[in-house]
């Protein structure tokens, strides 16, 4: 059974940072690109970033570029999202997702949440002003 478990969410003041993690089990982690999405209340889930299978390529939404950094450790099946310079507009539930293959090379595919094979349950991030 595949599981993706996010951790690291919480409350932080504007300007601060958090590091989210997503621990994967039940799948061959090396075969999956890993992405983060976020969802604002009443909104669709939106793409945040993606890291390729070996970590050699990363892609970010414009809204987080330069502030968020993805990394992964394939020895322990964990992907990280380091978030810096947070603003209240970053308040959302953050989800990790797994995508087998290389279709993510297309921007349209990266942003399409329906394409991802597995999802975690999410972790809440709240940024206060």
User: What are the tens digits of pLDDT across the range 25-66?
Assistant: 999 999 999 999 999 999 999 999 999 999 999 999 999 999
| Confidence at residue 29, expressed as pLDDT on a 0 to 100 scale | 97
User: What are the tens digits of pLDDT across the range 57-89?
Assistant: 999 999 999 999 999 999 999 999 999 999 999
In angstroms, the CA 76 to CA 45 distance is 27
Give the list of residues 6+ apart from residue 17 with CB closer than 8 angstroms, or none: 82, 83, 84, 85, 86
| Confidence at residue 100, expressed as pLDDT on a 0 to 100 scale | 95
The dihedral sign for the CA sequence 115, 71, 127, 11: positive
Look-up: residue for tokens 């349950």? 121
Cβ burial of 88 (10 Å; 0-12, 13-18, 19+) is exposed
Helical residues (DSSP H) of the chain, grouped into ranges: 107-111
Mean pLDDT of 92-99: 98
Is pLDDT of 105 > 90?
no
């Amino acid at each position: 059974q595949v599981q993706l478990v996010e951790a690291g969410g919480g409350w932080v003041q504007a300007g601060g940072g958090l590091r989210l993690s997503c621990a994967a089990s039940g799948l061959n982690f090396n075969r999956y690109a890993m992405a983060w999405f976020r969802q604002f209340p009443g909104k669709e889930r939106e793409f945040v970033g993606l890291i390729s299978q070996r970590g050699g390529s990363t892609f970010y939404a414009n809204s987080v570029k330069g502030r968020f950094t993805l990394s992964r450790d394939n020895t322990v099946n964990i992907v990280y999202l380091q978030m810096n310079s947070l603003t209240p507009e970053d308040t959302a539930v953050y989800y990790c997702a797994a995508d087998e293959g290389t279709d993510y090379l297309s921007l349209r595919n990266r942003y399409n949440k329906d394409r991802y094979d597995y999802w975690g349950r999410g972790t809440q991030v709240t940024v206060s002003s």
